[in-house]
Chains A and B, each alone.
Chain A
Amino acid sequence: DIQMTQSPSSLSASVGDRVTITCQASQDISNYLNWYQQKPGKAPKLLIYDASNLETGVPSRFSGSGSGTDFTFTISSLQPEDIATYYCQQYDNLPPCTFGQGTKLEIK
């Protein structure tokens, strides 16, 4: 199985900060990488698909990049409503598709 290593596991930042989360795959997954946001008690929400494509309706302050084994998710200017846990997910090698362990983002 492909392992997804996400870092950091938690992050504290101020409103307006640029926030970066990384996800590393244990083998080449091309661009088969998605990013989700999950707020407490809610279902996850798709933000970025195929590494760098913004899902319809998602604010442009969210972006993704990378290919192969190394991927980055960025919030250009952190807003209070961005407080959530963020997950990467790969789907290159099925089964299974796998999620990273998550990054819990808090306001400083």
Chain B
Amino acid sequence: QVQLVQSGAEVKKPGASVKVSCKASGYTFTSYGISWVRQAPGQGLEWMGWISAYNGNTNYAQKLQGRVTMTTDTSTSTAYMELRSLRSDDTAVYYCARDVAAIVGATRFDYWGQGTLVTVSS
């Protein structure tokens, strides 16, 4: 069965960086993309960006350009999302999701990780 298992909760100080991992299993990793979506406490969903597990192409939300980097390691079927220069308003649950778009993203997200809470606080 398809599973996406994310790394554990993080507490970071403002200005620091965080790297969240998302290990995929149960499907051919390189046949899909991975999108990252975050949700601030009590708020709605915000798409952060997409990466092709096939060729590494990325597509980031403009508001995060320059602060976010998404990568994959096909040898371990793991996707990573790094967010730098953290601010208090980056406090959120971060989700990875399998994206059916392998070449050009993003489209629809049919399986999701369990979420990783990132807290930014001094």
Contacts and interface: CB of A to CB of B under 8 A. Distances in A.
A18 interface: no
Contacts of B59: 94-95
Closest 4 CB pairs of A and B: A43-B112, A96-B61, A99-B45, A49-B108
A44 interface: yes
Interface residues of A, number: 24
A64 to B, nearest CB: 12
Interface residues of B, number: 24
Interface of A: 1, 32, 34, 36, 38, 43-46, 49-50, 55, 87, 89, 91, 94-102
Contacts of B106: 91, 94, 97
Contact of B44 (A50, A96, A102): A102
B27 interface: no
Q: State the main secondary structure of chain B at its contact with A.
A: strand
Q: Which of B37, B45, B97, B105 has the most CB of A within 10 A?
A: B45
| Secondary structure dominating the interface of A | loop
Contacts, number: 61
Given A91-B107, A94-B105, A99 B47 contact: yes
Interface of B: 35, 37, 44-47, 49-50, 59-62, 95, 97, 105-110, 112-115
A55 B110 CA distance: 8
Given A46-B108, A91-B106, A96 B62 contact: yes
Contacts of B44: 87, 99-102
B69 to A, nearest CB: 15
Contacts of A36: 45, 109
B114 A43 contact: yes
